[in-house]
């Protein structure tokens, strides 16, 4: 059993480190139940169509390689001329995966005027991994298709695909790292600068600014449960302060899982008008789980860096598939152009080894160079197989014209059902589940409110004042093998616990709810016993 002092020490660590400790406890829990780890956000589903298409392209790529060199296990290079004709002879139109690939060929030709041979050569060389990524930032046709996918899923009614440049990255986590690094290298933020963070939020956005590398001053713009997890426009008014250099947002939020409302988006657009040099970084990985989702990039494109990852929706966390999107006309380039002469000279020296014109080296390309310490810029860029896997995921949506994508609808229904079952297991009403703009990927449960609802206000006070905040999570793991995450690590209030609706079989979510309720009842019995003993003592 973990002692209270150990719990106090554990609370100093980040949310994911605490979660690892909970998982260790669960493996030795008392009742030998099956471990239910609803801590991490790894989905337990995958998109099969795009993966089968990847395998099929690899198979075709090998056959193409054997056309030029065929010696034992050695194949050769791929020839672009008439590759489309050979591919149509290779495929079987009766196979569903081949049908998907043939439809993709027709789609890219009809909608974007792409040459069949050019598109296929990029895809085949990409999946085989024949060459260094060239261009380093993103393959030519890949950028066009990924931009159209983002247009469908994130930009909403704002036509930005043709105005946006992309940098595919090794997952969203690499995108976050590259952004922070290049903001500092280009002195767009520096030690002591003020940044605003909308909380609760994914833990790295809280942890990275505090590191010695950055030492930024954080201003907290809170979203509250009482306001349907929407940030108060009065909070956003703080952004009018021109000394605030940047705003960091996850939208829909993690862990609260809610998209920004039209009112909040409007308030951000107004804040940008009053503070036109404000830099915004929005992480929209959960956007497709919300119908008619609108990214902040859509309403403030010139001020916003957009981070996206295919990991959650397509069940590809191990593939590390992310990207950064930046408008061709953006505040980041503007601020660099307006830099004082001494700063410009330092930056010219930094990037002159990779470009003849460092003054016009765009911020997105600086991120690519910085991602490989500049000197290795010629080998930068996400691996080509990873880029092509992103394209294939995107094409599964594009062929369904976005709104008709059956896969996305299934993913939404799946997390929604799990969220509903969890709330039923917790004894909560449907109103607690059915909230506007809720991605339902996570559930953020207020344990203290649940305790008060079931057993009254005095019991809530007892929980709040007699136990360390993670004590309930420790007991849940030790006694029942259920692993949940502490919301405080995400900047939430004490008593908030995050439950992932993505990574367990659907039937487990009612069980988790019941296990939470049973443990809460045991705490209540302890509370009643102490009250009775206290009364007996006073008598």
Q: Beta 36-37 vs 482-483: how paired, if at all? A: parallel
55 domain residue, yes or no: yes
356 domain residue, yes or no: yes
Mean pLDDT confidence for 26-40: 74
Please identify which residue in the block is written with the tokens 């994911």.
16
Please identify which residue in the block is written with the tokens 């993966």.
51
Place 475 in a pLDDT band, splitting at 50, 70 and 90.
confident
Identify the domain containing residue 500 by its residue range: 4-41+405-538
CATH, residue 236 = 3.40.640.10
Residue with more model confidence, 222 or 66 = 66
Q: What is the number of other CB atoms lying within 10 angstroms of the CB of residue 61?
A: 21
**Per-residue three-class SS string for 272-293:** HHHCCCCEEEEECCCHHHCCCC
With residues binned 3-state (H G I as helix, E B as strand, rest as coil), the percentages for the chain, rounded to 5, are: 55, 15, 35
CATH, residue 94 = 1.10.20.110
Q: Which of these, 459, 499, 347, 530, lies nearest to 37 by C-alpha position?
A: 499
Instruction: Please say if the pLDDT value at position 520 is more than 60.
Output: yes
123 domain residue, yes or no: yes
DSSP-derived 3-state class of residue 503: coil
Q: Are residues 80 and 14 in the same domain?
A: no
Dmax (CA) of the chain: 96
393 domain residue, yes or no: no
Find all residues with CB under 8 Å of 365, minimum gap 6, and list them. 137, 355
Q: Which of these, 129, 164, 125, 126, lies nearest to 143 by C-alpha position?
A: 164
Instruction: Please say if the pLDDT value at position 422 is more than 90.
Output: yes
Q: Are residues 292 and 209 in the same domain?
A: yes
Is the distance from CB of 280 to CB of 307 less than 8 angstroms?
no
Q: Are residues 285 and 361 in the same domain?
A: yes
Q: Are residues 102 and 215 in the same domain?
A: no
Residue with more model confidence, 474 or 309 = 309
Is the distance from CB of 476 to CB of 523 less than 8 angstroms?
no
Q: Are residues 363 and 240 in the same domain?
A: yes
Q: Are residues 349 and 451 in the same domain?
A: no
Q: Are residues 332 and 246 in the same domain?
A: yes
- The whole-model pTM stands at 0.92
The reported pLDDT for the residue numbered 536 is 72
The tens digit of pLDDT for each residue in 168-222 reads 999 999 999 999 999 999 999 988 899 999 988 888 787 777 766 677 888 888 8
Helix or strand run (H / E) with residue 63: helix 48-68
The chain-wide mean pLDDT, for the chain, equals 90
The reported pLDDT for the residue numbered 32 is 64
The tens digit of pLDDT for each residue in 319-358 reads 999 999 999 999 999 999 999 999 999 999 999 999 999 9
The reported pLDDT for the residue numbered 507 is 95
Mean pLDDT confidence for 236-249: 90
């Amino acid at each position: 059993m973990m002692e209270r002092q150990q719990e106090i020490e554990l609370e100093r660590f980040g949310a994911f480190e605490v979660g690892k400790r909970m998982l260790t406890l669960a493996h030795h829990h008392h009742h030998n139940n099956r471990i239910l780890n609803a801590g991490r956000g790894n989905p337990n589903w995958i998109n099969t169509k795009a993966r089968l298409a990847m395998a099929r392209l690899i198979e075709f790529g090998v056959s193409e390689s054997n056309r030029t060199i065929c010696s034992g296990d050695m194949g050769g290079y791929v020839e672009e001329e008439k590759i489309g004709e050979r591919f149509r002879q290779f495929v079987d139109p009766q196979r569903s995966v081949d049908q998907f690939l043939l439809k993709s060929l027709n789609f890219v030709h009809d909608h974007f005027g792409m040459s069949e041979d050019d598109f296929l050569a990029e895809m085949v060389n990409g999946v085989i991994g024949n060459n260094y990524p060239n261009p380093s930032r993103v393959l030519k046709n890949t950028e066009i298709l990924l931009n159209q996918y983002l247009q469908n899923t994130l930009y909403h009614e704002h036509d930005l695909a043709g105005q946006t440049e992309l940098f595919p990255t090794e997952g969203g986590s690499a995108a976050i790292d590259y952004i922070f690094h290049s903001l500092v290298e280009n002195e767009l933020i520096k030690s002591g600068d003020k940044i605003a963070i909308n909380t609760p939020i994914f833990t790295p956005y809280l942890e990275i600014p505090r590191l010695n590398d950055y030492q930024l001053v954080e201003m907290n713009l809170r979203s509250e449960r009482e306001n349907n997890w929407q940030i108060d426009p009065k909070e956003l008014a703080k952004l009018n302060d021109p000394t605030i250099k940047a705003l960091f947002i996850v939208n829909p939020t993690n862990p609260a899982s809610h998209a920004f409302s039209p009112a909040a988006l409007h308030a951000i657009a107004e804040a940008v008008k009053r503070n036109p040099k404000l830099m915004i970084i929005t992480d929209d990985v959960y956007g497709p789980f919300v119908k008619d989702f609108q990214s902040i990039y859509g309403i403030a494109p010139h001020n916003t860096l957009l981070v996206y990852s295919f990991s959650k929706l397509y069940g590809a966390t191990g593939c590390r598939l992310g990207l950064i999107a930046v408008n061709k006309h953006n505040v980041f380039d503007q601020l660099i152009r307006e830099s004082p002469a001494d700063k410009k000279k330092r930056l010219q020296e930094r990037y002159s080894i990779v470009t003849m014109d460092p003054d016009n080296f765009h911020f997105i390309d600086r991120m690519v160079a910085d991602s490989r310490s500049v000197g290795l810029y010629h080998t930068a860029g996400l691996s080509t197989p990873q880029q092509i896997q992103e394209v294939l995921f995107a094409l599964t949506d594009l062929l369904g014209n976005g709104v008709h994508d059956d896969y996305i609808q299934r993913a939404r229904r799946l997390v929604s059902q799990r969220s509903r079952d969890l709330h039923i297991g917790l004894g909560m009403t449907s109103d607690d589940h059915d909230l506007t703009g809720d991605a339902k990927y996570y559930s953020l449960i207020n344990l203290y409110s649940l305790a008060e609802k079931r057993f009254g206000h005095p019991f809530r006070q007892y929980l709040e004042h007699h136990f360390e905040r993670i004590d309930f999570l420790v007991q849940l793991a030790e006694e029942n093998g259920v692993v949940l995450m502490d919301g405080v690590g995400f900047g939430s209030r004490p008593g908030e616990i995050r439950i992932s609706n993505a990574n367990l079989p659907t039937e487990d979510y009612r069980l988790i709810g019941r296990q939470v309720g049973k443990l809460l009842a045991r705490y209540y019995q302890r509370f009643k016993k102490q009250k009775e003993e206290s009364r007996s003592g006073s008598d």
